[in-house]
Structure 1
Amino acid sequence: MASSTVVNCRKRVLINYYMITILMINILFISIRAEQLVPALFVFGDSLVDVGNNNHLPLSIAKADFPHNGIDFPTHKPTGRFSNGKNAADFLAEKMGVQSSPPYLSLTRIKSSNFSSGVSFASGGAGIFDGTDQLFKQSLTLNNQITYFGTVQATMMQQLGQMEAQILLSKSVLAIVIGSNDIFGYFGSSSSSSQMKKGTPQQYVDSMLLAFRGQLKRLYDLGARKFAIFGVAAVGCCPAQRERNKTEACNEAANSGALNYNKGLISLLQEYQTQLKDFQYSYFDTYSFFLSLIQHPATYGFKEEKAACCGLGNLNAKIACIPISTYCSNRNDHIFWDFYHPTEAAARMIIDTAFSGPRNYAFPVNIEQLVSL
């Protein structure tokens, strides 16, 4: 009898334990859901925010689906992100309380895909211009990405109804990280004849702005109202550009082009906010913040601002991060993961500042303020 009583007591204890565990899980789930700030996050851009779209482009060699990429990702495996771990798109999703937007091309073969929680169209090698990807020729240009967004919008209209889909899109955030490859296409080129075909530096930047003006309007016409726009960084200071210079100095022509483009972009955004009803945006001055990282690395906890963590040759920038490349043991010490892209640590810092940083970097509101508008 005593033995039976003990067994029953143990059963009751286990049942109570399981019930408490389930209750705690439910409470945690509810609290996580309560922190969701937007219905969905839609991501547009290049390799800085590509979460695997290029993995689904059969002929493209602009992929990151091999080691040592992903070494610090939760799975410790390459995912198509040009990073040792998570990239800016992942951290932005975390801040908004949503799951990382899946790559659009991973969903196109799935019937009745649900796009209402967000999707990523970003593609390594992409640019504002259709002809930016001269080497790989298969990336999803920004025009392609917007066309796919139109397909997603139409699907959502069918699934949710026109009114509900419009409300969801108007409350969602569209993050756009684009322009670096366009700058490289002109200012990173050593061919003067190639530059002459594209006009003067100012004419080239003006062409970028004209193209982006139309692209942004297309997104607005499809129902988007809240935009997180990231300016082009000081791309002339990436290891690939420094490696071309005997002194390892930044490519100031590329930096100047990025600066001029960013100035025009800010004016464009201000103009659209006055012209387009309910158009809201947060602009992040990626150029100034990234330059601050590079000029004062110790202030931000970094030890290496010039060389890439993964690669081969001078500054680890002569050859890309490929399986035979060497890589640093402490990725958190480096600003750059490979010869173009930031480490997970640097990407996290960029998003932390863009999301809740001061007006000298994020304006007229930061992203946290944008989502509450």
Structure 2
Amino acid sequence: MVNSNIVLLLINFLLIFLSSFTFSDAQLAPAVYILGDSLVDVGNNNYLKDSIVKANFLPHGVDFPGMKPTGRFCNGKNIADFIAERIGLPSPPPYLSLVSRPDKINNATSLLTGGNFASGAAGVLNTTGLALYKELIALPTQVDYFATVSEELKQKLGPSGAKKLFAKSIFVIVTATNDMLYYVASPDPSGKYNTQQQRIDFVLDALKEQLRRLYDYGARKFVVTGVPALGCCPFQRAWDGGECNEVVNSMIVTFNECLEPMLRKLKSEVKNMSYTYCDSYGILQDLIQNAKLHGFDEFKAACCGQGNYRGKLTCFRTSPYCSNRSDHLFWDPFHPTEAAQRILVDNIFDGPSKYTFPLSVKQLIAL
């Protein structure tokens, strides 16, 4: 019988060997770590006992391999999956799926090629959406989770090996959408920030703090998306006679106009940081304005939902849903279909430079 100590030594030797990160040509980066909201949640909310924001039931996932509802707020794969796919990696597992396992000792090994910390309904602020949705994983807590991963990988790979891994990895942050809806659009409960611009600045300062924390834990390459044109989603159209809510869109444009300069400023304050700012607002507007060109016959109504434009109530187990998902821009009242999310990732990965600043995701990886 093989001595268990010898087995452990062999495993540790293999992990140290992997720390050199000589990965295949098809794999552009060693790992991808994803933080954010429901646009990139791949199942973390499934493990939140008190959360009412879940997508672990059909028809969610009706087009996912195996017709499997995984917790993605989509008919199939989402942005997180497609980014990993373009990098040449498996889609990172939901972090909470690992910490809930009995063999937690192997968590670090499972996260060598990335992890997903995103949570549906979460925002940059700890308080965003909490009163309405009871339980979620706000961005600061997601960063806390990554800090735990960072320490575990330092123990597995050594400080130098972990540093090399994180420096070459991609950190994707898709957030602030819920902050726009539940904080910036309304009066500040504390009464501290009276104007909308003050509330926008508060969210941006909070986001900068979390990006700086990720940097301190070893992140160097950031992909940060702007907030999409929420005013044109089926939920807004359902309550605005089928038209886009330009008040909401104007608020988001203001936020996005401040986001990229914040990233630029952060880059000037630290060493060896690089970033890609992704104009998801512009991409979604293009998909709406040129829907037919992109293969979408329906760009106003959701595929799954209820009420006008299937946008007044979200996608439930009993909700009617369309048979032609690839023809729809939106899956439910808030989230794009798999087809639309694939186009978005294609645009930010190596698409036209007007949607990514100062680099495309592919150029960022190549640095």
Q: Residue 236 of structure 2 is aligned with which of 227, 234, 241? A: 241
Counterpart amino acid of residue 207 in structure 1: F
Q: Secondary structure at the match of 2:56?
A: coil
2:160 and 2:77 map into 1 onto residues whose CA distance is 35
Q: Secondary structure at the match of 1:326?
A: coil
1:65 and 1:201 map into 2 onto residues whose CA distance is 35
Q: Which residue of 2 aligns with 1:361?
A: 355
Q: Which residue of 2 aligns with 1:231?
A: 226
2:209 and 2:89 map into 1 onto residues whose CA distance is 29
Q: Which residue of 1 aligns with 2:339?
A: 345
Q: Which residue of 2 aligns with 1:127?
A: 123
2:50 and 2:193 map into 1 onto residues whose CA distance is 27
1:107 aligned onto 2:132: no
> What residue ranges of structure 2 are gaps of 5+ in the alignment?
1-22
1:98 and 1:153 map into 2 onto residues whose CA distance is 19
1:98 and 1:37 map into 2 onto residues whose CA distance is 8
Q: Secondary structure at the match of 1:135?
A: helix
Count of matched residue positions in the alignment of Structure 1 and Structure 2: 339
Q: Which residue of 2 aligns with 1:288?
A: 282
Shift of 1:248: 1.8
Q: Which residue of 2 aligns with 1:168?
A: 165
1:201 aligned onto 2:215: no
What does the per-residue CA deviation read over 1:216-267, in whole Å, with 9 as the maximum and x for residues that have no partner?
111111110000111111111111111111x222122221121111111110
2:66 and 2:168 map into 1 onto residues whose CA distance is 32
Counterpart amino acid of residue 296 in structure 2: F
> What residue ranges of structure 1 are gaps of 5+ in the alignment?
1-31
Shift in alpha-carbon separation, 1:340–1:195, aligned structure 2, 3 A: farther
* RMSD (CA atoms): 1.6
2:229 and 2:42 map into 1 onto residues whose CA distance is 23
1:301 aligned onto 2:295: yes
1:1-373 equivalences under 5 Å are: 33-108=24-99, 109=101, 110-113=104-107, 114=109, 115-133=111-129, 134-186=131-183, 199-245=194-240, 247-373=241-367
Counterpart amino acid of residue 200 in structure 1: T
Counterpart amino acid of residue 321 in structure 1: C
CA contact (8 A) 1:39 1:117 kept: yes
2:197 and 2:306 map into 1 onto residues whose CA distance is 35
Shift of 1:207: 0.7
Q: Secondary structure at the match of 1:327?
A: coil
Percent of counterpart pairs with the same letter? 48
Q: Secondary structure at the match of 2:344?
A: helix
TM-score (norm 1): 0.88
Shift of 1:111: 2.2
TM-score (norm 2): 0.89
Q: Secondary structure at the match of 2:59?
A: coil
What does the per-residue CA deviation read over 1:175-207, in whole Å, with 9 as the maximum and x for residues that have no partner?
000011001114666xx7969775211111111
CA contact (8 A) 1:186 1:195 kept: no
Larger Rg: 1
Any runs of at least 4 consecutive aligned residues in structure 1 with deviations exceeding 4 A, and if so which?
192-198
Counterpart amino acid of residue 121 in structure 2: G
1:361 and 1:278 map into 2 onto residues whose CA distance is 23
1:165 and 1:76 map into 2 onto residues whose CA distance is 36
